Amino acid sequence: MQQKKRIPLKLKEFLIEKGLFFCSLLSVFTTFGIVLVLSFETFEFFKEVPILKFLTDTQWTPLFVNKHFGILPLLCGTFLTSLIAIGVAAPIGLVSAVYLSEYASLKTRNIVKPLMEILAAVPTVVYGYFALLFVTPLLKKIIPNLSGFNSLSSGIVMGIMIIPLVSSLSEDAMRAVPMGLREGAYAVGSNRLQVALRIVLPAASSGITAAFILAVSRAIGETMIVAIAAGQQPRFTLNPFVPIETITAYIVQVSLGDTPYGTLEYRTIFACGMALFILTFILNIFSFKLKKRFQEVYE
Amino acid sequence: MNRRVINRRLDRCFKTLGAISTIFGLLVLLILIVDVLIDGIPRLKWDFFMSFPSRKPEAAGILSAWVGTLWVMAVTALIALPLGIGAGIYLEEYAKKNRLTNFIEINIANLAGVPSVIYGLLGLGLFVRFFKLERSIIAGGFTLALLTLPVIILSTREALRAIPFSIREASYALGATKWQTVRYQILPCALGNILTGIILALSRAIGETAPLITIGALTYIAFLPRSLLDPFTVLPIQIFNWISRPQKGFFANAAAGIIVLLFLTLVMNTIAIVLRQRYQKKVRW
């Protein structure tokens, strides 16, 4: 009796394969979903706001009576915080990558690397708390005219958050450099530091650049730290001591309010999301291509 | 001093600098944890876990927040796990090397780099508005599932790739079909590593704040959800809400909430790391 109820083996195999195929197609649907949702609302937005104004106006006040829709202040805030973040993460991450790849023993690496992963796993809202209530008061002692909300402390904390990313990706790139190159340099009398700085770093440069670009992309998309500690005042400035607003923080700000569905204010967050998506997409692709290049050279 | 001595000193200096840079982040993490513990420990009492949010900081708690986190994570895991592992199996075991596969792969790599707040906008446009699920647990769970999918797919693939080809060949030689090979040989072998990836992905999802705020999860919920279609809040959103209040009293609540959240993520990460290391030691092909 049971034999009859069984699905034929071939059919079962076929169905399973198709089912698994559908699972992997879902990721394509997700991308289409993102692009569709963003473009639809952005298109509606640009019906009311000319695209040129959006890109050149230096004021962003969609929630005020006197409305201006210039994304430049938000872009400026985003770049400022990302710049500070990468300014912190790049040197520290790179030096630590050289250390882990060229100096540290296997034992040290096996202990340190998982610990660094934990640093990257801390929820960003926690980092936001830290930036607002620990780093800002600390910085205020050194810089008295620092505002309670500022891009400096959020940028620094964001930088600390992306150190593991920079460090582990750069280390991967350095370890992909063939041993022969190092041995050649040692044979002509170089020491460890010379090998690291003059042989390994240049040889791994495209992989390291890829790591930096990915880190910038991560910083641009980071939301909670800036939403908590950088303030919510769109400002066209590069002064790191005053409150600013990033693209991501604006999206959070609007989402927290009661902006009715279908209004122009509601659509601004999708236009901002589109700008953010394009920006990070370009950086990610660029980083991906660079990484592929260094893999092709040495594998 | 000759150049050799200088060079040797420089080398030593750099080694110290490298060690400092490497532990710098960890030191900051330590300071962060101590800071949060000092601020939050006094609030960590039984009442804190069993009270709803309130206008008075001393009376406020995280009951609706942790219950909401449980619900949303359950939905996320139920959807993301089968789909993510399924997609990983397909791409690693079944997919032929053709254009479509290549496109799917690049696509997944890209999705892993999309900022989480964009997934929030997707959830808002798709689940909340288009499918009219409103600001419900299910909309939040779906959104986080899409967010964690690429991570789960990538780690599943990595786990499967580590299984040597001879295992598959041996299974085929005994007359097993493709699915039987995957089901009875490959998956059990890769389980440890797949599990590690899953735990890491879910521990990220627990701390996600921005996408859930974007889909409109509420910050003040004074009741427990009864169904998947009820509005909700989660632990990180509750913490965010307390941080953004002007009254100082709420900061202690935020710190206490952070202790709970950090404890959860750190425990999950430690389990994942221990699991991975034990698994890697035990199995040598």
CA atoms B153, B157, B160, B166: torsion sign: positive
Mean predicted confidence (pLDDT) in B82-90: 96
Residues of B in contact with A269 (CB under 8 A): 121, 214
B216 phi/psi in degrees, rounded to 5: 100, 25
| Among the partner residues B25, B111, B124, nearest to A160 by beta-carbon distance | B25
Domain A72-298 superfamily per CATH = MetI-like (1.10.3720.10)
Nearest partner of A211 among A174, A181, A179, A158, judged by Cα: A174
Domain boundaries, chain A: 2-48, 72-298
Residues of A in contact with B91 (CB under 8 A): 24
CB proximity list for A175: less than 8 A, separation 6 or greater: A101
- % of chain B surpassing 70 pLDDT: 98
Contact state of B243 with A95 under an 8 Å Cβ cutoff: no
| Among the partner residues B84, B109, B262, nearest to A126 by beta-carbon distance | B262
A1 pLDDT tier (thresholds 50, 70, 90)? very low
Burial class of B223 by CB neighbour count within 10 A (0 to 12, 13 to 18, 19+): exposed
A69 phi/psi in degrees, rounded to 5: -120, 60
ipTM rounded to 2 decimals: 0.91
Mean predicted confidence (pLDDT) in B90-108: 91
> What pLDDT sits at residue A299?
60
B231 phi/psi in degrees, rounded to 5: -65, 160
SS3 A293: helix
Residues of A in contact with B177 (CB under 8 A): 9, 13
Q: Is A231 left (phi over 0), alpha (psi -120 to 50) or beta?
A: left
pLDDT digits (tens, 9 = 90+) for A176-211: 899 999 999 999 988 889 999 999 999 999 999 999
B62 touching A (Cβ < 8 Å):
no
Looking at every residue in chain A, the average pLDDT score rounds to 90
SS3 A60: strand
A155-171 b/e with 16+ CB inside 10 Å = b?
A: bbbbbbbbbbbbbbbbb
Residue appearing with tokens 């700085």: A197
SS3 A219: helix
pLDDT digits (tens, 9 = 90+) for A5-23: 567 888 989 999 999 999 9
B189 touching A (Cβ < 8 Å):
no
Q: What is the pTM of this model?
A: 0.92
A228 phi/psi in degrees, rounded to 5: -85, -45
| Angstrom distance (rounded) from CA B212 to CA A62 | 23
Is A25 in contact with B91 (CB distance < 8 Å)?
no
DSSP B123: H
